[in-house]
Amino acid sequence: MTFNILSPVCSLSLLMLVGCAVPALNTKEPQDQTLSGSRLPSDEIAHRFDYWHEEATELHEMAVRREREADLISKQQQDGSADELATHMRALARQLHAAAEYADEQAQKAQRQVQHAMTQ
């Protein structure tokens, strides 16, 4: 029963996280502005680095938390539904790590743009 309730909640949470972390899915920011960082002022580029770096850190922390929770569920309960929930949580952790990797890449791009803007 617990799995049936938590599964949609976890899935919805993941969709919200990925939607915030992936700029192509974020409708608040125009796509052309995301891709053309060289036209942005250096302080805005620095702000983007801070944003992506913080996003990556939080996503990694959330993934590690889900992995630990899955381990605890597996150890504490021996029934089949607990194994299914733990498997689902580990899959969610993998997706969170993937989103964090993307955020890391975006932070590195922004950092290179900041360094480039400083040398000009």
Rounded CA separation 38/88 (Å): 41
The residue assigned the tokens 């299914």 is 84
State the residue for tokens 């569920």: 73
Q: Is 83 within 8 Å of 75 (Cβ atoms)? A: no
Indicate the residue type of 81: S
Whole-number average pLDDT of the chain:
77
Q: What is the pTM of this model?
A: 0.63
Task: Tell me the torsion sign for CA atoms 61, 63, 65, 68.
Answer: negative
31 or 77, greater pLDDT: 77
For residue 65, the number of C-alpha atoms closer than 13 Å in the C-beta half-sphere is 8
Between 64 and 36, residue with greater pLDDT: 64
Report which residue type is found at 107: A
pLDDT digits (tens, 9 = 90+) for 44-64: 888 999 999 999 999 999 999
- Domain assignments of the chain as residue spans, ordered by start: 41-120
Give 77-117 pLDDT, tens digit per residue.
Answer: 776 778 889 999 999 999 999 999 999 999 999 888 878 77
Decide which of 43 and 92 is more confident: 92
Residue 10: per-residue pLDDT: 53
Give the sign of the dihedral formed by CA 100, CA 50, CA 14, CA 23.
negative
The pLDDT assigned to 91 comes to 97
